[in-house]
Chains A and B, each alone.
Chain A
Amino acid sequence: MNEFVETLLDLPWQTGEPKSSYDVVIIGAGGHGLATAYYLATRHGITNVCVLDSNFIGAGNSGRNTTIIRSNYGIPESVRFYQRSLEMYQTLEDETGCWIMHNQKGQIWMAHSVSTARTEQTRALMNQACGAKTDYIGPDEIKQLCPQIDLTGGGRYPVYGASYHHEGATARHDRVVWAYAQGALRAGVHVFQHTPVTGLLKDGDRVVGVQTPRGNIAAGTVISAVGGDVTTVANWAGVRLPIRTHALQAFVTNAYAQEFAPIVSSNDLVFYVSQTPRGQMLIGAEYDRFASYRQATSFSYLQACSKKSITMFPFLAKLRILRSWTGICDVSTDFSPIIGHTGVDGFMITTGWGTWGFKAIPAGGSQLAELVATGSATLIEPFGLQRFAHEAAMADPSSAGTR
Chain B
Amino acid sequence: MSRVVYDGTPIEYEEGDSLALAALRAGQHPARGGTLCMAGDCGNCVAIVDGTPWVRTCQTDARPGIVVRRHPNGSHPSPGGPEQHTSVTVRHRTADHVVVGHGESGAAAAAALRAEGHDVTVFDAADGDEVVGVFDGPSVIVRRADGIDHFHVHHITLATGAAEVQPVCPGNLLAGIYTPKAAAVAIAAGIDLGTVVTVGHDVKAFHGEGRVSEVEFRDGTRVACDSVIADLGSAPRDVLARMAPLVPVEVVGPAAQAHPLPPVAEEGVLCPCGKITVEDLQGVWDKGFRDLELVKRASLCGVGTCQGGVCMPHLRSFVADRSGVEPKPFTGRPAARQVTLAEAAAGYHIDTFRRTPLHAEHEALGANLDKFGGWFRPWNYGDPIAEYWAVREGVSLGDVSTLGKMLVSGPDVVEALERLYPNHVHDIKVGRSRYVINLNERGHVLDDGMICREGDTRFLLTFTSGGASTAEMWVRDWVETWGLKVHVLDRTVSHGAINVTGPLAGELLRRAGVADDDRPKFLQHRHVTVAGVPCHIMRLSFTGEASYELHHQIDRSVELWQALMELGRPLGIKPHGLQALFGLRLEKGHVIVGQDTELDSSPRRINMDWAVKMEKADFLGREALARTANLPDERRLFGFTMDGPAPLEGSVIRVDGDVVGHVTSSWDSPMYGHAVLLGWQKRLPHADVVEIDGREARVSPVPFYDKEGARARM
Same assembly:
yes
Q: Which residues of A approach B to under 8 Å, CB–CB?
A: 1-2, 4-6, 8-13, 55-59, 63, 76, 112-115, 118, 121-126, 129-130, 156, 174, 178, 193, 253-260, 268-269, 278-279, 281, 294-300, 302-304, 306-311, 314-325, 333-335, 390-391, 393, 395, 397, 400
A309 to B112 alpha-carbon distance, docked (Å): 44
- Cβ-defined contact, A302 with B628, below 8 A: no
- Cβ-defined contact, A256 with B333, below 8 A: no
Nearest CB on B from A130, distance (A): 6
- Cβ-defined contact, A257 with B344, below 8 A: no
Nearest CB on A from B240, distance (A): 13
- Cβ-defined contact, B342 with A310, below 8 A: yes
Q: Mark B235-248, 1 if CB is under 8 A from A, else 0.
A: 00000000011100
Give the nearest-CB partner of B54 in chain A.
A254
Nearest CB on B from A296, distance (A): 6
A317 to B82 alpha-carbon distance, docked (Å): 11
| Residue from B78, B246, B279, B349 in contact with A1 in the complex, judged by beta carbons closer than 8 Å | B279
A121 to B353 alpha-carbon distance, docked (Å): 23
- Cβ-defined contact, B341 with A324, below 8 A: no
Chain B 288-303 residues near chain A, CB threshold 8 A:
288-289, 291, 293-294, 297-300, 303
- Cβ-defined contact, B372 with A115, below 8 A: yes
- Cβ-defined contact, A317 with B340, below 8 A: yes
Give the nearest-CB partner of A304 in chain B.
B348
Is B662 positioned at the interface, with any CB of A under 8 Å from its CB? yes
- Cβ-defined contact, A321 with B78, below 8 A: no
In the complex, what residues of A have CB within 8 A of residue B371's CB?
Answer: 112-115, 268
| Residue from A4, A10, A123 in contact with B299 in the complex, judged by beta carbons closer than 8 Å | A4
A281 to B80 alpha-carbon distance, docked (Å): 13
A303 to B340 alpha-carbon distance, docked (Å): 11
- Cβ-defined contact, A11 with B288, below 8 A: yes
In the complex, what residues of B have CB within 8 A of residue A268's CB?
Answer: 371
- Cβ-defined contact, B86 with A317, below 8 A: yes
- Cβ-defined contact, B287 with A8, below 8 A: yes
- Cβ-defined contact, B80 with A318, below 8 A: yes
Q: Mark B493-518, 1 if CB is under 8 A from A, else 0.
A: 00000000000000000000000000
Q: A260-B79, A317-B341, A320-B340 are in contact. List 13 more A-B contacts (CB 8 A).
A: A5-B283, A55-B293, A58-B297, A122-B649, A129-B654, A254-B338, A302-B334, A303-B346, A314-B82, A321-B335, A324-B333, A333-B442, A391-B600
In the complex, what residues of A have CB within 8 A of residue B581's CB?
Answer: none
Known contacts A315-B81, A391-B631; decide if A256 and B53 are in contact (CB<8 Å). yes
| Residue from A4, A63, A113, A259 in contact with B79 in the complex, judged by beta carbons closer than 8 Å | A259
A113 to B370 alpha-carbon distance, docked (Å): 6
Known contacts A76-B659, A259-B78, A296-B136; decide if A63 and B333 are in contact (CB<8 Å). no
Nearest CB on A from B375, distance (A): 11
- Cβ-defined contact, B139 with A56, below 8 A: no
- Cβ-defined contact, A254 with B305, below 8 A: yes
Nearest CB on B from A53, distance (A): 11
A325 to B142 alpha-carbon distance, docked (Å): 19
Known contacts A122-B662, A259-B79, A297-B135; decide if A2 and B280 are in contact (CB<8 Å). yes
Nearest CB on A from B637, distance (A): 14
Chain B 102-135 residues near chain A, CB threshold 8 A:
132-133, 135
Is B530 positioned at the interface, with any CB of A under 8 Å from its CB? no
Count of inter-chain pairs, beta carbons less than 8 A: 235
Give the nearest-CB partner of A298 in chain B.
B135
Q: Mark B630-663, 1 if CB is under 8 A from A, else 0.
A: 0101000000000000001111101000010010
Is B350 positioned at the interface, with any CB of A under 8 Å from its CB? yes
Known contacts A8-B298, A125-B651; decide if A310 and B79 are in contact (CB<8 Å). no
Is B586 positioned at the interface, with any CB of A under 8 Å from its CB? no
Is B345 positioned at the interface, with any CB of A under 8 Å from its CB? yes
In the complex, what residues of B have CB within 8 A of residue A303's CB?
Answer: 344-348
A197 to B144 alpha-carbon distance, docked (Å): 47
Known contacts A6-B283, A306-B345; decide if A256 and B132 are in contact (CB<8 Å). no
- Cβ-defined contact, A114 with B275, below 8 A: no
Known contacts A123-B650, A257-B77; decide if A319 and B350 are in contact (CB<8 Å). no
Known contacts A5-B298, A256-B53; decide if A318 and B79 are in contact (CB<8 Å). yes
Closest 3 CB pairs of A and B: A122-B650, A11-B288, A395-B599
A296 to B262 alpha-carbon distance, docked (Å): 30
Known contacts A2-B275, A114-B379, A314-B83; decide if A324 and B335 are in contact (CB<8 Å). yes
A345 to B79 alpha-carbon distance, docked (Å): 55
21 residue pairs of the A-B complex, CB under 8 angstroms, read A2-B276, A8-B289, A10-B286, A11-B287, A11-B288, A118-B650, A126-B659, A257-B76, A298-B136, A303-B345, A303-B348, A307-B348, A310-B345, A315-B79, A315-B80, A317-B341, A318-B51, A318-B83, A319-B341, A321-B341, A324-B334
Q: Mark B138-162, 1 if CB is under 8 A from A, else 0.
A: 0101000000001000000000000
In the complex, what residues of A have CB within 8 A of residue B279's CB?
Answer: 1
In the complex, what residues of B have CB within 8 A of residue A390's CB?
Answer: 631
Give the nearest-CB partner of A310 in chain B.
B341
In the complex, what residues of A have CB within 8 A of residue B350's CB?
Answer: 156, 269, 307-308, 311
| Residue from B52, B139, B298, B299 in contact with A320 in the complex, judged by beta carbons closer than 8 Å | B52
- Cβ-defined contact, B289 with A11, below 8 A: yes
Is B85 positioned at the interface, with any CB of A under 8 Å from its CB? yes
- Cβ-defined contact, A299 with B133, below 8 A: yes
A259 to B78 alpha-carbon distance, docked (Å): 8
Known contacts A302-B334, A315-B80; decide if A322 and B305 are in contact (CB<8 Å). yes
Q: Which residues of B approach A to under 8 Å, CB–CB?
A: 51-55, 72, 75-86, 132-133, 135-136, 139, 141, 150, 244-246, 275-277, 279-280, 283-284, 286-289, 291, 293-294, 297-300, 303, 305, 307, 331, 333-335, 338-342, 344-350, 353, 370-373, 379, 442, 578, 595, 598-600, 602, 628, 631, 633, 648-652, 654, 659, 662
| Residue from A129, A309, A323, A393 in contact with B600 in the complex, judged by beta carbons closer than 8 Å | A393
In the complex, what residues of B have CB within 8 A of residue A255's CB?
Answer: 76
Nearest CB on A from B587, distance (A): 19
- Cβ-defined contact, A125 with B662, below 8 A: yes
Give the nearest-CB partner of B631 in chain A.
A391
A250 to B373 alpha-carbon distance, docked (Å): 27
A294 to B303 alpha-carbon distance, docked (Å): 22
Give the nearest-CB partner of A256 in chain B.
B79
In the complex, what residues of A have CB within 8 A of residue B244's CB?
Answer: 296
| Residue from B72, B280, B348 in contact with A5 in the complex, judged by beta carbons closer than 8 Å | B280
In the complex, what residues of B have CB within 8 A of residue A318's CB?
Answer: 51-53, 79-80, 83, 340-342
In the complex, what residues of A have CB within 8 A of residue B139's CB?
Answer: 299
- Cβ-defined contact, B77 with A12, below 8 A: no
A321 to B133 alpha-carbon distance, docked (Å): 12
Nearest CB on B from A337, distance (A): 15
Give the nearest-CB partner of A194 in chain B.
B291
In the complex, what residues of A have CB within 8 A of residue B245's CB?
Answer: 296
Nearest CB on A from B680, distance (A): 10
A309 to B286 alpha-carbon distance, docked (Å): 41
- Cβ-defined contact, A59 with B293, below 8 A: yes
A298 to B138 alpha-carbon distance, docked (Å): 11
In the complex, what residues of A have CB within 8 A of residue B342's CB?
Answer: 306, 310, 317-318
In the complex, what residues of A have CB within 8 A of residue B287's CB?
Answer: 8-11
Nearest CB on A from B612, distance (A): 15
Known contacts A5-B298, A174-B298, A322-B307; decide if A10 and B598 are in contact (CB<8 Å). no
A300 to B150 alpha-carbon distance, docked (Å): 10
A256 to B633 alpha-carbon distance, docked (Å): 53
Nearest CB on B from A383, distance (A): 14
Nearest CB on A from B44, distance (A): 14
Nearest CB on B from A114, distance (A): 5
A36 to B27 alpha-carbon distance, docked (Å): 59
Known contacts A8-B298, A254-B305, A323-B334; decide if A317 and B631 are in contact (CB<8 Å). no
- Cβ-defined contact, A1 with B283, below 8 A: yes
A309 to B360 alpha-carbon distance, docked (Å): 30
- Cβ-defined contact, B53 with A121, below 8 A: no
| Residue from B53, B81, B284, B293 in contact with A254 in the complex, judged by beta carbons closer than 8 Å | B53
A300 to B341 alpha-carbon distance, docked (Å): 12
A121 to B650 alpha-carbon distance, docked (Å): 7
